[in-house]
């Protein structure tokens, strides 16, 4: 059985990523890309669906021992796990070197004290655990082949096969270092080069050290900010600049339920807010690469902006269910692809325009096509902003006039007006100023409940929605406006969990709610960070800091966050790690630092 979501560590090479459990098991790895088929899918099934365990040997009928200590080596994505056993202490170092050739996962075993018996158990299953590959020796190397894929396994340790699994049993003493590497290559090509684990380790550590040194944030929450930035960098697909929302699929928002989605794609919304955080902390190259990815992805058809694309800009992300996988803790179905790709979500136009505006304001070199794209997006919104849509949360129920979508349409027009006023673009300024006023008036008249003094989820509804917390952050209304304060306080009353975290919107248990799905979900971590931001903006800075530090305490021991927190089960839920959680963590840290609202 897979571990709890927070039991996992992330390692990656900025093209794909692996999840490593506390017991030394890699339960998730897709090769060669984030969105490729998994060769280890035990996370969503059983050991029969693929895993790689490396740790102290244990009895066959006993649970694998968990590491006594683990952590990343400095500010890097190099994981170090240590086990204390009756026979001594051993360390395993796991990492994926930024690649210039075949993707590799390298694991180095090091003896610390005593003599510790160890075991590597490698069970590769291609196509998300469905296909057993042909495993054989080729010129002294072990290779697994099935269809278009081959995975090469290299180690100095003696290996043997048993029960369709490749094992290595060995003992390490102080100073011993034994490396294990898997490398992926298309099966029709020549074998990948022999790995050089020690050189790769040195190069990987140097890469992360140099990258982190670019960070311009040096405030009191630097440790949390740096770890979140490293996580966001790890979720960036280096060849194109696309940013995945998470490296996993179908980790449930509701344990045992159906709210299981594939997040291994580039949501324009998530990527745009990620770009914002990177720019604000000094990472201009990532911002430039994402802008270039955006321009390629929407080229030729910018009016029909999709809410998400593949990491190379692919448009077709057809959704399917993998019925041979039982799902994480029996949370079925397991889905790949995402049927929400072709939803209408008007807020995306605002997020993209806001990201392009921030890039422009922070001095990113001008790109004429980016300005042209921005103008085309507004021309589309002129004709469509009054339509209902599926909204930020991708509801699978009927379309509605979501207030957040209208607010973000206003943001898109407002930022484009600013671009024209700066002299860097030409457009019908007066007409679009009138459009901006029309949208603003429409929201304030139809999306505001005067009796309760709060904005609502959609026109004519009584429900609240945590996305309304973005109204002051986007500049739609000032923080001291009574309608803003009333909305913040209403969300605190009606969407807070017992421990003070924020739900996205009301759900209806086993009945279908506004999102068209049965079941409930946990507190949405991004919304809880937004609440901390808003509290700081309206002067309740001590309350904001306390909420922020409660949120920091939800991170696992490695500083990682999933999408949600389940207040009933007191555990993380949803895909992991989640960009949409780490981005607002950074933003709130920056806001609280600027306000001086931190302890010590």
Mean pLDDT over 515-524 rounds to: 70
73 burial via Cβ count (<10 Å: 0-12, 13-18, 19+) = middle
Position 19 scores a pLDDT of 98
Among 141-150, 521-530, 554-563, the minimum mean pLDDT is found in 521-530
pLDDT at 332 over 90: yes
Q: How far from 3 is each of 26, 301, 328, 599, CA to CA, in Å?
A: 11, 43, 9, 34
Please give the full DSSP string across 452-505, using - where no structure is assigned: TTEE-SBTT-----GGGGHHHHTTSS-TT-HHHHHHHHHHHHHSB-TTS-B-SS
pLDDT at 48 over 50: yes
Q: Kindly report the backbone phi and psi dihedral angles of residue 445, in degrees, each rounded to the nearest multiple of 5, phi listed first.
A: -85, -40
Side-chain half-sphere exposure of 26, counting CA atoms within 13 A: 29
Mean pLDDT over 265-294 rounds to: 89
d(CA 208, CA 126): 30
CB 291 within 8 A of CB 335: no
56 burial via Cβ count (<10 Å: 0-12, 13-18, 19+) = buried
Position 517 scores a pLDDT of 62
Tokens (6 digits) for 262: 């594939």
pLDDT at 197 over 50: yes
Per-residue pLDDT tens digits for 75-132 = 999 999 999 999 999 999 999 999 988 899 999 999 999 999 999 999 999 999 999 9
Q: How far from 392 is each of 277, 449, 492, 505, CA to CA, in Å?
A: 19, 21, 20, 11
pLDDT at 512 over 70: no
DSSP state of 73: S
261: region left, alpha or beta (phi > 0 left; psi from -120 to 50 alpha): beta
Helix axes 347-361, 403-421, angle to 10 degrees: 30
Position 499 scores a pLDDT of 87
The whole-chain average pLDDT of the chain stands at: 93
DSSP state of 190: P
Position 231 scores a pLDDT of 98
- In the chain the first and final C-alpha atoms are separated, in Å, by 42
Q: Percentages helix, strand, coil for the chain, rounded to the nearest 5? A: 35, 20, 40
d(CA 50, CA 46): 8
CB 409 within 8 A of CB 346: yes
d(CA 311, CA 323): 25
283: region left, alpha or beta (phi > 0 left; psi from -120 to 50 alpha): beta
Sign of CA dihedral 533, 536, 537, 540: positive
Q: How far from 143 is each of 140, 255, 284, 507, CA to CA, in Å?
A: 10, 37, 41, 49
Tokens (6 digits) for 590: 């920056």
Q: Kindly report the backbone phi and psi dihedral angles of residue 52, in degrees, each rounded to the nearest multiple of 5, phi listed first.
A: -145, 110
Mean pLDDT over 249-274 rounds to: 92
Per-residue pLDDT tens digits for 214-240 = 999 999 999 999 999 999 999 999 999
Among 3-7, 197-201, 232-236, 498-502, the minimum mean pLDDT is found in 498-502
Residue 181: CB atoms within 10 A of its CB come to 21
Position 534 scores a pLDDT of 97
For residue 509, what pLDDT band results from cuts at 50, 70 and 90? very low
State the pTM of this model. Answer: 0.95
Per-residue pLDDT tens digits for 396-422 = 778 999 999 999 999 999 999 999 998
Position 511 scores a pLDDT of 44
Position 343 scores a pLDDT of 87
Sign of CA dihedral 245, 246, 251, 254: negative
For residue 518, what pLDDT band results from cuts at 50, 70 and 90? low
Per-residue pLDDT tens digits for 182-195 = 999 999 999 999 99
Tokens (6 digits) for 525: 């971590």
In sequence order, which residues have a C-beta less than 8 Å from that of residue 157 and are 6 or more positions away?
120, 168, 170, 178, 180
Return the ∠ at Cα 222 (arms to 219 and 234), rounded to 5°.
140
Q: How far from 5 is each of 225, 271, 382, CA to CA, in Å?
A: 21, 23, 43
CB 84 within 8 A of CB 17: no
pLDDT at 600 over 50: no
Mean pLDDT over 202-212 rounds to: 98
H or E element that contains 572: strand 571-573
CB 15 within 8 A of CB 37: no
Position 367 scores a pLDDT of 82
Mean pLDDT over 300-312 rounds to: 84
Please give the full DSSP string across 363-416, using - where no structure is assigned: TPPP-HHHHHHHHHHHHHHHHHTTS-B-TTTT-SS--B-BHHHHHHHHHHHHHH
pLDDT at 56 over 80: yes
Q: Kindly report the backbone phi and psi dihedral angles of residue 383, in degrees, each rounded to the nearest multiple of 5, phi listed first.
A: -95, -15
Taking every pair of C-alpha atoms in the chain, what is the biggest distance, in angstroms?
78
d(CA 283, CA 273): 13
Among 238-252, 392-406, 450-464, the minimum mean pLDDT is found in 392-406
Among 365-374, 490-499, 581-590, the minimum mean pLDDT is found in 365-374
In sequence order, which residues have a C-beta less than 8 Å from that of residue 573 and are 6 or more positions away?
5, 251, 252, 253, 254, 255, 521, 522, 562, 563, 564, 565, 566
pLDDT at 510 over 60: no
SS3 297: helix
């Amino acid at each position: 059985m897979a571990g709890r979501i927070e039991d996992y560590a992330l390692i990656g090479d900025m093209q794909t990523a692996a999840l490593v459990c506390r017991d030394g098991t890699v339960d998730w790895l897709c090769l060669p890309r984030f969105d490729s088929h998994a060769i280890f899918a035990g996370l969503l099934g059983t050991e029969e669906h693929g895993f790689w365990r490396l740790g102290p040997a244990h009895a066959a009928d006993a649970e694998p021992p968990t590491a006594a200590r683990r952590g990343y080596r400095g500010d890097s994505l190099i994981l170090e796990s240590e086990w204390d056993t009756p026979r001594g202490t051993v360390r395993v170092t796991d990492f994926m070197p930024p690649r210039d050739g075949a993707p590799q996962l390298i694991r180095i075993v090091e003896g610390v004290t005593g003599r510790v018996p160890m075991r590597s158990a490698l069970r590769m299953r291609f196509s998300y655990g469905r296909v057993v590959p042909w495993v054989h020796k080729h010129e002294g190397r072990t290779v697994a082949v099935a269809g278009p894929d081959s995975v090469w396994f290299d180690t100095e340790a003696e290996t043997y096969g048993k029960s369709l699994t490749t094992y290595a049993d060995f003992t390490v003493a102080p100073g011993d270092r034994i490396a294990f590497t898997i490398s992926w290559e298309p099966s029709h090509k020549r074998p990948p080069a022999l790995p050089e684990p020690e050189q790769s380790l040195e190069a990987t550590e140097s890469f992360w050290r140099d990258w982190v040194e670019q960070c311009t944030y040096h405030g009191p929450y630097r440790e949390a900010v740096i770890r979140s930035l490293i996580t966001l960098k790890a979720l960036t697909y280096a060849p194109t600049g696309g940013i995945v929302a998470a490296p996993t699929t179908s980790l449930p928002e509701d344990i045992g339920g159906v709210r299981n989605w594939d997040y291994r794609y580039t949501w324009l919304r998530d990527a745009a807010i990620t770009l914002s955080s990177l720019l604000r902390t000094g990472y201009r190259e990532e911002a430039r690469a994402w802008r270039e990815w955006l321009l390629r992805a929407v080229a030729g058809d910018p009016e029909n902006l999709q809410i998400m694309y593949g990491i190379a800009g692919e448009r077709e992300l057809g959704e399917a269910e993998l019925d041979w996988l039982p799902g994480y803790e029996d949370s079925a179905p397991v889905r790949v692809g995402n049927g929400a790709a072709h939803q209408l979500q008007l807020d995306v136009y605002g997020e993209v325009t806001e990201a392009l505006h921030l890039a422009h304001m922070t001095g990113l070199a001008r790109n004429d096509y980016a300005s042209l794209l921005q103008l085309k997006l507004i021309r589309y919104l002129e004709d469509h902003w009054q339509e209902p849509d599926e909204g930020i949360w991708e509801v699978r129920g009927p379309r509605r006039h979501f207030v957040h979508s209208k607010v973000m349409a206003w943001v898109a027009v407002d930022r484009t007006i600013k671009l024209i006023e700066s002299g860097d673009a030409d457009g019908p300024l007066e007409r679009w100023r009138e459009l901006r006023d029309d949208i603003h008036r429409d929201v304030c008249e139809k999306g505001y409940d005067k009796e309760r003094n709060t904005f609502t989820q959609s026109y004519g509804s009584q429900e609240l929605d945590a996305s309304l917390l973005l109204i002051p952050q986007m500049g739609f209304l000032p923080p001291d406006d009574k309608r803003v304060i009333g909305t913040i306080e209403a969300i605190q009353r009606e969407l807070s969990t017992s421990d003070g975290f924020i739900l996205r919107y009301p759900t209806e248990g086993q009945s279908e709610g506004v999102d068209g799905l049965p079941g409930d979900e946990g507190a949405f971590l991004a919304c809880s960070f937004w609440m901390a931001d808003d509290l700081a903006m309206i002067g309740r800075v001590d309350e904001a800091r306390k909420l922020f530090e409660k949120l920091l305490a939800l991170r696992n021991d490695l500083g990682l966050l999933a999408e949600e927190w389940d207040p009933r089960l007191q555990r993380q839920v949803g895909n992991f790690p989640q960009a949409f959680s780490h981005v607002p963590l950074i933003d709130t840290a920056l806001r609280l630092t600027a306000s001086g609202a931190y302890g010590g």
